[in-house]
Structure 1
Amino acid sequence: MTDCDFLVVGHGLAGATLAYVLRQRGYRVLVFDPGQADSASNVAAGLINPVAGKRFALTWNANELLPAAASFYRELEQCFGQQFFFEAPIFKIFGSLDEQSALLTRSPDHPWGDYVASLATTDPGLPGVQAPLGGAWLRHGGHVLVRELLAALAAQGEREGWLWRETFDWTKLVTDPTGARYAGRVQARHVICCEGAAATQNPYFNWLPLTPNQGEVLDVECAGLSSAQVLNRGAYVVPVGGGRFRVGATYRWPPFADGPTETARQELSGRLAAITEQPFAVVGQRAGVRPAVRDRKPLLGPHPTVPSLSFGGGYGSKGVLLAPRLAGLLADWLEGKAELWPEVDLRRYAALYRPAAGS
């Protein structure tokens, strides 16, 4: 029988960051993950963007989330001797005079704090970039090599024995007030579900208001396009080195396609063509399903009736930014050292819970 303090189900960004934080605090952690190549975390471009969306809104809780994310990824770089986090300016291209005017009207109020470095009303002359109306330069952003980061952590986990490459069967979990047992093989003090969109099929957490959506990204080669910054106009264009860029992302609601689609390829190619006049070649395409939530805030906290079981996830398209700080918050709560933030506490949806028949 394997004995651990915490059993984490899922090794995407939510599970991997939580498992790392708990292990750093000295706990015995066991992680179950089947190693799905097209998970949302493995598909993600890893963008960290302080100001996003058509409304040009400051990211929720940016002042706390951004420095926590940067610090966390730098720590992992030191741990593995490998660069994962690339700080880079983001140039948000104005797509119309109305958009330009709206931003210039708002700018005297400085609603974005230190995150908007400057607003340009003319083409800044970036190589290969079409920006006749200028745009906004954002700072304190960048991108993370998520696939590579998770691969490094997984290799460590398999080598050290705390990551088991298998699918967790929730029907084999037996819980009581003092802990949980799994399949006659594992004894844990507490179990945390970090399965992402798959939690919609979890018998303990399928009542949560997860609204998964599918996203696709392209990898392209474009030798003449500036790689000194991340570009954004209807799509993000993230430089990944060697004249390559990751372009994304689409949003598709159920029913989901089985893998990448030609429709998404054409959509993203069209968005890139609006940003650059340079020729480009699509060299890769991937699709994954994001674990979004109805109110666009994550879900953290305990099962309503099973004290030894909790949930962490629902990060949607902002997992790279959210995961580090929320892993620390959830770990603090598991240790009894802090309360969960009301905005992310899953108990805000307690009224949706209905016990299973016969339970």
Structure 2
Amino acid sequence: MTDCDFLVVGHGIAGATLAYVLRQRGHQVLVYDPGQANSASNVAAGLMNPVAGKRFALTWRGAELLPFAAEFYRELEQRFGQEFFVETPIFKLFSSVEEQNAVLARSADNPWEHFVAGFETADPALPGVHGPFGGAWLQHGGHVAVRELLAALAGEGTRDGWLRAETFDWSRLSTDADGATYAGQVRARHVVCCEGAAAVRNPYFSWLPLTPNQGEVLDVECAGLSTAQVLNRGAYVVPVGAARFRVGATYRWPPFADGVTAVGREELAARLSVITDLPFAVVGQRAGVRPAVRDRRPLLGPHPTVPSLSFCGGYGSKGVMLAPRLAVLLADWLEGRAEIWPDTSLQRYNALQPISVS
């Protein structure tokens, strides 16, 4: 029998950050993950955007989450001797004079704190960028090499034996007042589900209001396009080196196709064509499924009736920004040192839970 303090199911950005925090605190952690190359975390461009959306609003808890995430990823860079986080300006192109006027009118109240560095009211003349209406310069954001980060952590887990490249079978889990036993082989004080969108099939958590949302991204080559910033207008354009960019992302609600689609490719190519007049070549395309929540807030905390079981996820498209701080929050709660934030707690949806767990 293998004994551990915490059994974490899933090693996407949510599970990987939680497992790392718990291990750093001296806990014995065992992680199960099937190692899917097309998981949402592996497909993501890893953008951390402080001001986003059609309303041009400050990201939820952005003033706390962004600097915390940046420090967290820099710690991992020191650990592995690799660059994972690139802090870079983000230029949000205005799509019309009306949008420009609306944003500038709001700027007097400074609703974005220190994350907006300034505005352009005319074309900023960035190389290869079509921006006739100007835009807003955002600062203290950037992007994370999520695939490389997860690979580094997984490599460590395989070497040290805390990561098992297996699909977790929830039907083989039994729980009691003191913890949980899996497949008659593993005993844990607590089990945390970090399965992402796959949690919709979890017998313990399928009642949660998770809606899988598919996103596709393109890798393109575009010689001459400015690489000094991330571009954003209907799509993000993230420089990844050697005149290559990651362009995304689409949003598809069920039912959606399994894998990449021609429709997704055409949609993203059309969005990129609005940002630049330069010719570009699509050199790659990927699709992943995000775990979206109806109120666009993450889901964190204990199962309502099974005390040895918790959930961590529902991060949607903001996983790289949310994961570090929420991993620490959940770890603090597991250690009895903090309460789960009410706006992230599973308790807000307790009424949806069935009477019994099958």
User: TM-score under structure 1 normalisation?
Assistant: 0.99
Deviation at 1:178, TM superposition (A): 0.2
Residue in 2 that maps onto 1:21 = 21
Residue in 2 that maps onto 1:333 = 333
Deviation at 1:150, TM superposition (A): 0.3
CA distance in 1, matches of 2:346, 2:133: 43
Q: Deviations over 1:79-115 (max 9, x none)?
A: 0000000000000001111111111111111111101
Residue in 1 that maps onto 2:38 = 38
Provide the alpha-carbon RMSD of the alignment.
0.7
CA distance in 1, matches of 2:271, 2:179: 50
Q: Deviations over 1:149-169 (max 9, x none)?
A: 000000110010000000000
Q: Deviations over 1:321-348 (max 9, x none)?
A: 0000000000000000000000001111
Residue type of the partner of 2:256? F
Residue in 1 that maps onto 2:82 = 82
Residue in 2 that maps onto 1:235 = 235
Deviation at 1:304, TM superposition (A): 1.0
Q: Deviations over 1:303-323 (max 9, x none)?
A: 111110000000000000000
1:354 aligns with 2:334: no
CA distance in 2, matches of 1:325, 1:272: 32
Matching of residues 211-222 of structure 1 within 5 Å:
211-222=211-222
CA distance in 2, matches of 1:112, 1:124: 21
Residue in 1 that maps onto 2:12 = 12
1:279 aligns with 2:275: no
Deviation at 1:205, TM superposition (A): 0.3
Residue in 1 that maps onto 2:289 = 289
CA distance in 2, matches of 1:156, 1:300: 26
Residue in 2 that maps onto 1:314 = 314
CA distance in 1, matches of 2:311, 2:98: 43
1:252 is paired with a residue of what secondary structure? coil
Deviation at 1:356, TM superposition (A): 3.0
Residue in 2 that maps onto 1:56 = 56
1:215 is paired with a residue of what secondary structure? strand
Residue in 2 that maps onto 1:119 = 119
CA distance in 2, matches of 1:278, 1:130: 9
Deviation at 1:132, TM superposition (A): 1.0
Deviation at 1:28, TM superposition (A): 0.2
Structure 1 unmatched ranges of 5 or more: none
Structure 2 unmatched ranges of 5 or more: none
The alignment of Structure 1 onto Structure 2 pairs a total of residues equal to 358
Deviation at 1:63, TM superposition (A): 1.1
Matching of residues 183-262 of structure 1 within 5 Å:
183-262=183-262
Residue type of the partner of 1:234? G
Matching of residues 56-205 of structure 1 within 5 Å:
56-205=56-205
Residue type of the partner of 1:208? L
User: TM-score under structure 2 normalisation?
Assistant: 0.99
Residue type of the partner of 2:27? Y
Q: Deviations over 1:259-292 (max 9, x none)?
A: 0000000000000000001110000000000001
Deviation at 1:133, TM superposition (A): 1.0
Residue type of the partner of 1:174? S
Q: Deviations over 1:220-253 (max 9, x none)?
A: 0001100000000000000001110000000000
CA distance in 1, matches of 2:287, 2:356: 33
Q: Deviations over 1:36-79 (max 9, x none)?
A: 01000000000000000011000011111011100100000000
- Same amino acid, percent of matched pairs: 76
Q: Deviations over 1:168-219 (max 9, x none)?
A: 0000001001010000110100000000000000000000010111000000
Residue type of the partner of 2:84? F
CA distance in 2, matches of 1:355, 1:22: 32
2:78 is paired with a residue of what secondary structure? helix
1:292 is paired with a residue of what secondary structure? strand
CA distance in 2, matches of 1:302, 1:340: 9
* Moved segments of 4+, more than 6 Å: none
CA distance in 2, matches of 1:184, 1:340: 31
Residue type of the partner of 1:39? S
Deviation at 1:355, TM superposition (A): 2.6
Residue type of the partner of 1:207? W
CA distance in 2, matches of 1:144, 1:159: 24
CA distance in 1, matches of 2:256, 2:24: 38
